[in-house]
Structure 1
Amino acid sequence: MKVYICNKSCCPAVETVGDEVLIGEGANTVRLKKNEWNNLVQKILSGELHSV
C-alpha cells in the first residue's frame, strides 16, 4: 500500500513494505516497524497526538 500525503504523486508518501512502514521520500525517509506504526496510529486515534 502506498498513500501520498497530498493529492499529488510528487508529495512524500506512506508506504508499507514487508514488515516496515516507510514515511517520506529519498534520504528523508523514516522506517517504522509494524508495532511502531501501530503504536503511532493508536496514539492518533486516542487523541494523545493531534493536529498542530
Structure 2
Amino acid sequence: MSLSPACTACPEVEIAGDEVRIGEVGHLAGLKKDEWKLLVDLIQSAPAGPPPDSPFSCFRR
C-alpha cells in the first residue's frame, strides 16, 4: 500500500502480521506496530510537521 495514493514520493508500506515494513528493496525498515504508531505521532506532532519534500509529507496536517 502507499501512504498516499496521490503522492508519488511516498515509500511503500506493507503490514505483515505484527510488523510494518516501510521503504523499497535495498532500503527497508521493519517496525513493530507500536514503533510505527510512535513514528507517525512524532512526525505529526513536529511544530511545522514534516518538510514538504520529505517522504513523510503525506503526514502533513
TM-score (norm 2): 0.58
Residue 31 of structure 1 aligns with which residue? Answer: 30
Distance 1:24 1:32 in 2: 11
TM-score (norm 1): 0.65
State the aligned residue count: 48
Deviations 1:8-46 (A, max 9, x none): xxx741121111111111121110110110000111222
Q: Say yes or no: does 1:3 pair with 2:2.
A: yes
**Counterparts in 2 of 1:9-20, with a 5 A limit?**
12-20=11-19
**Percent identity between the aligned chains?**
42
Higher strand share: 1
Runs of 4 or more above 6 Å deviation: none
Distance 1:18 1:38 in 2: 15
Contact 2:44 2:50 in 1 (8 A): no
Gaps of 5+ in 2: 52-61
Gaps of 5+ in 1: none
Q: Which has the higher contact order (CA 8 A, sep 6+)?
A: 2
